[in-house]
Structure 1
């Protein structure tokens, strides 16, 4: 029983805290822009289910804390359907009802009767808030902690590996990969792991000369302490650094924001690159995580942050910093996913609004309904695929197979 409680504290609690925080910020993005445009809002909820606590502000908005910490939501007055995009008939019915209850002109306070550009900005406010959150977190970390720049040097080349075939030698200083400047070993790992069976162009410094090398990563099954078993590209290099080449960089507020924006762009670029390789059949997609995988990652990060001999205060600070970093990465992911042009997501709503702006009328009800169902099916397939990956990496099927045999 104590072991079960320990697992819940390590895996479930950090996951729920991070997820609820990110989703709340996402919904707050919708809320703040809607409030700026004087949209009537019924409720802003953190968590789902029965309310633990609630209050109503002077604008008539209920602020609610639900007992299930699985995210949150904002409810605009007059929402008629799950997609929040009623058709022409639905708008007419809503307008008549609002006028009958509150008098002529009251409909102008409702989301659905705002100009299409305002509705689009309100809808985009959620993903935008996720990106702003990530930039704020990275900026704070750069200002508080700075950054360590340690150009990677090759310390060992595995015999008969892709790196050996490419001509890498110990003490090579890696300067570039695929045209991008390499600042650390993490840059090399990020590029190589997502380039299985695809040649990578390197530039190294050897004895004061620039040398161009081409290595093709080999897809290899590896066991990651946080993600579990995954298939990634490997070329057979071990990297280190020389102490005299390590630089500690401090950032002022402007530089920190610039570096944070670059970091956020880098995460988005890597995500798009990986998804593109999945759709072209060059990656298996086993690094796509669902809720189980994210919970496992949160637990793994928590264990790593609190491992070893150190004062409790230092472990707590390390844990907090690690979870905040995870929140930044997940916030970018949630913002990106919500911008996908799927009707049940913010991106799908933006597609509907783009049509409305051009056609001067909302999308027909039957089209919305069909899009909504297709969107749900796509999301369900994506969730099933990600959950399948999670279960594979958790070795659940091997465990069940052992029970059956």
Structure 2
């Protein structure tokens, strides 16, 4: 069992994960804004009082804030860091006004806003493509190398040599697709298409939840159906093939993230399972302890999640802005200011509430609440 990384090491690893991802996300907004002729007043990594700053020849202030939990690009004409229009932008001289964000047509504003999450996805694809190019990609066939006695697979009648070709309509191409499809779905009945001896059949099975320990001795839960893999196989990947592999792996993670979110929204998964910055910091330290490759892969994973979350239709997030721009494109006029203001307030309250919940969960996972309960008891 590996030794748990110390506090200072964990903080450094967390900054090594979050800092580049925030920069990548905000740079996506910034560079597309530049291409669209919009002036950027501020490019900030972190919030709050600035630690260091400088102004470039285009008049953009680049700064690093003391709270490294995000960042923003404030364009000309913005009132604040979340692109609420400044009431005075329309009074600017015509030349200056033409370079403000609110003055742009809706398609340009949409491109600028979407660029942040899209850049996160592209960054992850680049990382995963690099791993595939250097180390190859798993091509272990989705064939049962063994069946755990008493498992869901055993109960459903699966046998060694059976090939899994589909789970609940999801094509299964390699063995690694199986845990991706079932790990987050304990207790849910699944329809599995199986090929055996040239014949095809459908079986119903229900993954069961198991507790396991990571290399640091911490318990975690996942669902399994009780299939052991056949001998592992890797296939070399050329430089030209690597982006397609990275794209496929990124889509698999996005799909799984969407399914987990759906479980939260429908009540099939408890909000106690939600994690936030504290947990990300803990896992960052653990990933860094396992080596640079593990840390880089974790960066790709968080980049995908960051892109996904920012596309959610909450007014404070990029997805919320895109929702209003879609309304504007369809109705040929912006949503009423009062509606936007109340939507922003709702989005702010929702994001703050979510942060409180995930932070509470994170501290609980570190044993803080149990420790307090023991002290009080």
Provide the residue aligned with 1:384 in structure 2. Answer: 356
Q: How does 1:221-300 map to 2 (within 5 A)?
A: 221-224=211-214, 228-235=218-225, 237=226, 239-242=228-231, 246-300=232-286
Shift of 1:115: 1.4
Shift of 1:175: 4.6
Q: Is the 8 A contact 2:72 2:81 kept in 1?
A: no
Cα distance in structure 2, aligned partners of 1:219 and 1:231? 7
Q: Which runs of 5+ in 1 are unaligned?
A: 306-318
Cα distance in structure 2, aligned partners of 1:121 and 1:23? 18
Q: Which has the larger radius of gyration?
A: 1
Cα distance in structure 1, aligned partners of 2:16 and 2:57? 29
Provide the residue aligned with 1:56 in structure 2. Answer: 55
Q: Describe the SS at the equivalent of 1:64.
A: strand
| Residues 335-392 of structure 1: per-residue CA shift (max 9 Å, x gap) | 1111111111111111222233334443333222211111012112222232233233
TM-align CA RMSD: 2.8
Q: Is the 8 A contact 1:196 1:216 kept in 2?
A: yes
| Residues 307-334 of structure 1: per-residue CA shift (max 9 Å, x gap) | xxxxxxxxxxxx2211111111111111
What TM-score does the superposition give when structure 2 sets the normalisation length?
Answer: 0.88
Q: Is the 8 A contact 1:153 1:173 kept in 2?
A: yes
Q: CA 1:23 to 1:163, structure 2 compared with 1: closer, same or farther past 3 Å?
A: same
- Are positions 1:108 and 2:98 aligned together? yes
Provide the residue aligned with 1:141 in structure 2. Answer: 131
- Are positions 1:330 and 2:329 aligned together? no
Provide the residue aligned with 1:302 in structure 2. Answer: 288
Q: Is the 8 A contact 1:228 1:394 kept in 2?
A: no
Q: Is the 8 A contact 1:230 1:287 kept in 2?
A: no
Q: Describe the SS at the equivalent of 2:176.
A: helix
Q: CA 1:361 to 1:277, structure 2 compared with 1: closer, same or farther past 3 Å?
A: same
Higher helix share goes to which structure?
Answer: 1
Shift of 1:145: 1.7
| Residues 85-142 of structure 1: per-residue CA shift (max 9 Å, x gap) | 33xxx55x3221x22xxxx432101111111211111111111111111111111111
Provide the residue aligned with 2:370 in structure 1. Answer: 398
- Are positions 1:340 and 2:339 aligned together? no
Cα distance in structure 1, aligned partners of 2:51 and 2:72? 15
Shift of 1:49: 4.6
- Are positions 1:366 and 2:338 aligned together? yes
- Are positions 1:37 and 2:26 aligned together? no
Q: Is the 8 A contact 1:17 1:69 kept in 2?
A: no
Q: Is the 8 A contact 1:226 1:301 kept in 2?
A: no
Q: Is the 8 A contact 1:55 1:62 kept in 2?
A: yes
